[in-house]
DNA sequence: ACAAAAGTGTTCCATATACACCCATGT
DNA sequence: ACATGGGTGTATATGGAACACTTTTGT
């Protein structure tokens, strides 16, 4: 019985939630897009395998990574009995990506406009999207999609992209500030028109 | 690489949350208590393996079963590289248990008074307990611990056992009734003093 | 009559929602 | 001057928390 990891790597581009897909070169599903992932090595923890595959296939290092669910139906991979442990991860818009990618063809797709996916990867993606939508309500998820310092408008864009719906600016700002999950810096971002105050996460 | 399942089987006894443990006969950890579980067979889904182990080791059939987390540290089992997919399950107090147990010695323990556990099973138990405590707030978890018809006091005992703290009777009853997750039957339970109305779950 | 569990309302506080205008800056 | 995104307050609705007594039955 073999064990793989598959990672749903999220980011925000042009105010929409995107994820990284890799075009498969080999059968099965050659030419089809799939999640980055691969086999767990004999002396490596499952978490470490996910981090390594992210490094090798997506060229990203030390990102937020969380286990999602294990998919273990016997027929899910035509090559034989392969169980996969799914993860999701997040990178800020700024991080340069796909550098170091050893897969032929990696690309970002909006979560609401995905190409056909190999294996049961569509189910994994939907599971991941549901998870982060739910976690947004009661955790700090979403911060990993931003650089260390960010404006409240940028944070709002992240939340709107994950939820897929617009939020009220005043209510949003009051909530994040009252919950005490961000703290203001003394810096301002002078890009655009009126400079916006920069914040960082607590803890 | 081998894959096992381990199941945290909860029930309520004497108003406290308990779980089923099995005394190991073989090394490693011979004589120690462990969660019911075992290897996933080659043509069996991981979910099916968990259901089968519950049947074989705990003698329970068709119970609520949900995947929890996959534990995959290389050193977690001294016999070699074994990854385990952890599940939790729930049975009502009424269900007769341990009938059909093929393990030598199965016993219920209160979650707050556990014996030393084999492998990383203590971490699995704590993860399961945290999960059901959180799910209590936003789902119908806890209903699986009761028979089809139950009184609101019995439901409150279940919630108190999982949360580990007493709840206000009036607030509890109002909440479950307003949320529309239970519906009253016309029957009453005549055990004890004043007969209590029986409810059942919606859906 | 008494013991035991069932059943029942109100007040208060915190949090979510709906909603519109002025401000600072770059062009 | 104007276009752009930054920033701010109030009123209302909703959900949670605290809190004590009466009712029904069996013994």
Which residues, in sequence order, are CB contacts of A64 under 8 Å at separation 6+?
A89, A90, A144
Are residues B133 and B163 part of one domain?
no
Q: At A80, list the tokens.
A: 């034989």
Residue at a domain's end among A120, A138, A156: A138
Are residues A181 and A132 part of one domain?
no
Q: Which residues of A touch B42 (CB under 8 A)?
A: 1, 74, 81
Q: At A142, list the tokens.
A: 């979403």
Check residue B72 and give its pLDDT: 97
In CATH, what number is assigned to the domain containing residue B22? 3.90.79.10
Distance (Å, rounded) from C-alpha A32 to C-alpha A149?
37
Closest CA to A70 of B67, B111, B196, B95: B67
Would you say residue B194 lies in a domain? yes
In CATH, what number is assigned to the domain containing residue A184? 1.10.10.10
A44, A52 contact by CB (below 8 A): yes
- C-alpha distances (whole Å) from A148 to each of A89, A182, A202 are 17, 11, 11
User: Inter-chain contact B69–A67, Cβ cutoff 8 Å?
Assistant: yes
Residue at a domain's end among A98, A116, A138: A138
B17, B8 contact by CB (below 8 A): no
**Number of folded domains in chain B?**
2
DSSP3 helix / strand / coil % (chain A, rounded to 5): 30, 30, 40
Rounded distance in angstroms from the CA atom of residue A113 to the C1' atom of nucleotide C20: 35
Point out the residue nearest to C3 (C-alpha to C1').
Answer: B193
Q: Which residues of A touch B83 (CB under 8 A)?
A: 3, 40, 46, 85
Task: State pLDDT tens for residues B65-100.
Answer: 999 999 999 999 999 999 999 999 999 986 666 555
Are residues A171 and A123 part of one domain?
no
Are residues B154 and B134 part of one domain?
no
Q: Is the CB of B171 under 7 A from strand D?
A: yes
Burial of B127 by CB count in 10 Å (0-12 exposed, 13-18 middle, 19+ buried)? middle
Scanning residues 148 through 167 of protein chain B, those with a beta carbon under 7 Å from any atom of strand C turn out to be 151-153
Distance (Å, rounded) from C-alpha A117 to C-alpha A75?
16
Are residues B179 and B97 part of one domain?
no
Distance (Å, rounded) from C-alpha A200 to C-alpha A184?
6
Are residues B188 and B128 part of one domain?
no
Which residues, in sequence order, are CB contacts of B117 under 8 Å at separation 6+?
B21, B32, B33, B34, B35, B125
Would you say residue B184 lies in a domain? yes
B29–chain A nearest CA distance, Å: 22
- Residue A8: strand pairing partners: A88
Check residue A90 and give its pLDDT: 96
Would you say residue B143 lies in a domain? no
Distance (Å, rounded) from C-alpha A124 to C-alpha A110?
15
- Residue A65: strand pairing partners: A89
Closest to A83 (Cβ–Cβ): which among B3, B43, B74?
B3
DSSP strands (E only) in chain B: 2-13, 16-23, 33-34, 37-39, 64-71, 82-90, 106-110, 182-189, 196-201
Distance (Å, rounded) from C-alpha B123 to C-alpha B131?
12
Helix ranges (H only) for A59-120 are none
Task: State pLDDT tens for residues B55-65.
Answer: 999 999 889 99
Q: At B90, list the tokens.
A: 């729930």
Check residue A104 and give its pLDDT: 60
Directed axis angle between helix B169-178 and helix B152-163, to 10°? 110
Scanning residues 44 through 83 of protein chain A, those with a beta carbon under 7 Å from any atom of strand D turn out to be none
Structural domain for B7, as ranges:
2-138
**How many residues appear in chain B?**
203
Residue A27 has pLDDT above 90, yes or no: no
Kindly give the confidence (pLDDT) of every residue in chain B, 203 residues in length, as a single tens digit, with 9 standing for 90 and above: 999 999 999 999 999 999 999 999 998 999 999 999 999 999 999 999 999 999 999 999 889 999 999 999 999 999 999 999 999 999 998 666 655 555 558 999 999 999 999 999 999 999 999 999 999 988 888 889 999 999 999 999 999 999 999 999 999 999 999 998 899 999 999 887 899 999 999 87
Chain A, window 55-94: residues with a beta carbon less than 8 angstroms from a chain B beta carbon: 67, 69-70, 72-74, 81, 83, 85
Rounded distance in angstroms from the CA atom of residue B172 to the C1' atom of nucleotide D19: 14
Closest CA to A19 of A125, A148, A130: A125
Distance (Å, rounded) from C-alpha A130 to C-alpha A133?
5
Q: At B165, list the tokens.
A: 């703290």
């Amino acid at each position: 019985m073999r064990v793989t990891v598959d990672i749903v790597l999220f980011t925000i581009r042009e105010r929409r939630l995107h994820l990284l897909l890799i075009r498969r070169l080999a059968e099965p599903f050659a030419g089809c897009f799939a999640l980055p992932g691969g086999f767990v090595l004999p002396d490596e923890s499952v978490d470490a395998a996910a981090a390594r595959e992210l490094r090798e296939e997506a060229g990203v290092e030390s990102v937020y990574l969380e286990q999602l669910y294990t998919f273990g139906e016997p027929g899910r991979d035509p090559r034989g009995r392969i169980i996969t442990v799914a993860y999701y991860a997040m990178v800020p818009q700024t991080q340069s990506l796909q550098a170091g990618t050893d897969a032929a063809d990696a690309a970002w797709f909006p979560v609401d406009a995905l190409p056909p996916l190999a294996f049961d990867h569509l189910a994994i993606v939907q599971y991941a999207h549901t998870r982060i939508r739910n976690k947004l309500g009661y955790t700090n998820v979403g911060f990993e999609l931003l650089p260390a310092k960010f404006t409240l408008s940028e944070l709002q864009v992240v939340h709107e992209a994950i939820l897929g719906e617009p939020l009220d600016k005043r209510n949003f700002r009051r909530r994040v500030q009252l919950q005490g999950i961000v703290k203001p810096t003394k810096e301002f971002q002078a890009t655009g028109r009126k400079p916006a105050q920069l914040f960082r996460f607590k803890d």
